[in-house]
Amino acid sequence: MSVTSIVDEKEVLESAASTEVVIQINNMNKWFGQFHVLKDINLTVHRGERIVICGPSGSGKSTLIRCLNRLEEHQQGDIIIDGVTLDSNLKNIDQIRSEVGMVFQSFNLFPHLTALQNCTLSPIWVRKMPRAEAEELAMEYLERVRIPEQAHKYPGQLSGGQQQRVAIARALCMRPRIMLFDEPTSALDPEMIAEVLEVMIELAATGMTMLCVTHEMGFANRVADRVIFMDFGQIVEQNTPREFFENPKSDRTKLFLSQILAH
Amino acid sequence: MTAAADRTGSTRQLPKQRLDPLRWLREKLFNTWYNTILTFIALAIIYKFAAVIWQWGFVDAVWIAENRRECLNISPGGACWAGVIAWFKAIIYGRYPAVELWRINLGVLLLAAWLAPLWLPRVSMKTVIGLSTVVFYPFLAGYLFVGGEKGILIQVTVTAAIVCLAVNSVHSLIGVVNGGSLVRTLLGLLRLQHRSEKAQRNTLLALLAAFFAIVFALQAGWTLEEVSWVKWGGLFLTLVISGIGITMALPMGIILALGRRSRLPVIRVLCITFIELFRSVPLITVLFMATTMFPLFLPEGFNLNKLVQVIVAVCLFSGCYMAEIVRGGLQAIPKGQYEAAQAMGLGYWKMMSFVVMPQALKYMIPNIVGNFMGLLKDTTLVSIIGLFDILNMIKAASQDVPWRGLHKEPLLVGAIIFFIICFAMSKYSQRLEVKLSAGERR
């Protein structure tokens, strides 16, 4: 039984998007050395919008969202997040990074700290919160991702699904306005994918602006306001999930969908 | 939870294996015919060695004699330990005046007392205690060992060191006795728990200042006889040089390694040049250059004595080797750790201090301790430029008129001393590795 069928039975989430523009990408181009990896990207994201980015591997989807918090640098074009232009100005970068949370495919939890310490590190040292208040905040988010009892365990003692949920709680402890997900369930065993997707769906229901690179089409169907298809560094097609899955316009989209929805 | 418990089925414990020495011998040493032969050959070799050493070192040895001639008369084939005993004080302390030896002993005791809390279980703020040792102990020990007139700067630093030691000791005692901390106990005694944080801080600082003033007044009238560095020698000198080298090597290595990986071109080029320069020349060359060329670079009239030149050279040399070890450790940290820290908004220094360095240092420990052990043994090279470290003292013992020709015995004792120190370092590093791997899945 695939995850798609479990999720399909439930209701599609209502859109919480507003008209306020929170991410604006204009004519963005990026090269890795001589390799042109992102070509003429134009994208507008509104507050509360939930976007799923999909595409074949090597299409630049991860690179695109990593450009949004300057883990990768773009060479041409503008990226404006919450009114702040993303360039080499360190102050701007720091400001954007504290408003944009990221969840990685390989979790990237800090193995020498407990789950609680992973979550409180940034609030204490970046937001200058007192320790007791930071721990209270961290416990609140660990409860939201449904693992408060693991707070004092080290990442090495947790399962993959639990680690990813701690990673989501850690990103949420900074109270970001935008959450980026880079293939959050791709490294998980199938039985753990559902628990992480549940957490992400609950997060979406609270009105968080989310950009999610994923292959979980059931999740896209249920949660996304927009599905974007990327291929060879370009945005080929973007549409509502219903339109995207039922009436794909480009041939490349049709090919991709036939490949991933086959099984 | 119950579903999970049912799934595990009938789990049992591994049946206990009884230790049986006869069976162990049969399985490990005598299991096949060629292993049996090898075991007997090995036993024969061990016996031969042990017998020779026992004969030479204990049975035929001479423990009391006036000179080597007498040793040889009493027992020509045995070890002449009498010579080592006569020279033992020199081998350990050098030519430090006998009446002032208590200062060296006191210095070592104070170091042990300062560092002891790091091993006690219920003491808090261990990092602060450790750092205070590195910052304040050198001043106290420096004055104890050198002595002489106390300028105002020395008086202040010595007072600070004594105050720090006293505060540490009381804090540790409180920690061991009831698990509390000095700050909390003082606040309780003065009934300040309910006052504002500012009032608490000011009162404690005032107490500290008063204590400082009292100690300052007490130590103002007390001076120690000056002992020139020329008289320092033996194990004492070796430990001073390598101790300072070891303490400076790690911070210097971290800074150089971070500089080498920096994106700022000037810093990167400077660090690479510095590191490669010192790694390309033998330590003995660096020592020669330090003692002959250093005075050229210093301003007029500013003379550094030979010991300081040597210490600076040793610090620079070991710092560069340490830089490469640190860089190796930093490279072992997956890129995802750096990215996760950056994505959370941690700046460069916070990322390094809280995320990268704690993980990297764990990987570096075998290399770091190996480097320290090498440094300790490399300091014997200073004997070539005329400083009387432990090796030079041992050589002097063999050239001393009553004991001329006494080579084997002092060298053996020197080797044993080095072995004890290095083995202790090695054992400590293994304990450290085990402690820092807490929580890791093996």
At A3 the pLDDT is 44
Helix, strand, coil percentages in chain A from 3-state DSSP, rounded to 5? 40, 25, 35
Strand arrangement of the beta sheet that strand A100-103 belongs to: A100-103, A178-182, A209-213, A50-54, A226-231, A234-239
pLDDT at B277 exceeding the cut of 90: yes
- Residues A103-143: tens digit of each pLDDT: 999 999 999 999 999 999 999 999 999 999 999 999 999 99
Superfamily of domain covering B231-442: MetI-like (1.10.3720.10)
Count of C-beta atoms within a 10 Å radius of residue A243: 14
CB B268 within 8 A of CB B259: yes
Q: Where in chain B is the domain with CATH 1.10.3720.10?
A: 231-442
Helix, strand and coil content of chain B, in percent to the nearest 5, comes to 75, 0, 20
Interface contact flag, A126 B346, Cβ < 8 Å = yes
Looking at the predicted structure, is the pLDDT value of residue A211 above 90? yes
Assigned token pair, B399: 């050239």
- Chain A residues with CB under 8 Å of B440 CB are 111, 154, 156
Say yes or no for a CB contact (<8 Å) between B336 and A104: yes
Measured in angstroms, the CA of A188 and the nearest CA of chain B are apart by 17
Lowest mean pLDDT among A120-129, B251-260, B294-303: B294-303
Average pLDDT along chain A: 90
Q: How many CB atoms lie within 10 A of CB B171?
A: 22
Task: Report how far residue A155's alpha carbon sits from residue A168's, in angstroms, rounded to the nearest whole number.
Answer: 13
Residue range B261-286: mean pLDDT, rounded: 93
User: Would you call A170 and B347 a contact, using CB atoms and an 8 Å cutoff?
Assistant: no
Q: At what angle do helices B126-146 and B101-115 cross, to 10 degrees?
A: 170
pLDDT tens digits, one per residue of A215-236: 888 899 889 999 999 999 999 9
Predicted confidence (pLDDT) per residue in B68-94, tens digit: 888 888 888 888 888 889 889 999 998
Q: What is the pLDDT of residue B337?
A: 96
User: With contacts defined as CB-CB under 8 Å, which chain B residues touch A69?
Assistant: 342-343
| Chain B contact probe: residue of A108, A124, A158 with most B CBs at under 10 A | A108
pLDDT tens figures, B401-432: 888 888 889 999 999 999 999 999 999 888 88
Residue from A62, A110, A118 whose CB has the most chain B CBs within 10 Å, to mutate: A110
- Residues B54-71: tens digit of each pLDDT: 999 888 888 888 888 888
CA distance, residue A175 to nearest chain B CA (Å)? 11
Reported ipTM: the value is: 0.90
The closest alpha carbon to A13, from A241, A248, A245, belongs to: A241
Per the CB < 8 Å rule, is A71 touching B342? yes
pLDDT tens by residue, A26-41: 999 999 999 999 999 9
Distances (CA, A) of B19 to A62, B13, B16, B23, B27: 57, 18, 9, 8, 12
Note whether A64 and A238 are within 8 A (CB).
no
Note whether A250 and A79 are within 8 A (CB).
no
* Residue of A176, A173, A97, A111 whose CA lies nearest to A137: A173
> What residue of B is the nearest CA neighbor of A175?
B344
- Which chain B residues contact residue A125 at CB under 8 A? 346, 350, 354
Pairing outcome for strands A76-81 and A234-239: unpaired
Residues in A lying within 8 Å of B, measured between beta carbons: 69-71, 94, 97-98, 100-102, 104, 106, 108-112, 114, 121-122, 125-126, 153-157, 170-171, 174
Cβ contact A110–B355 (<8 Å): yes
Query: Closest chain A residue to B442 measured between Cα atoms?
Result: A156
Going B135 to B137 to B140 to B146, the CA torsion angle's sign is: negative
A171 with B344: Cβ contact below 8 A: yes
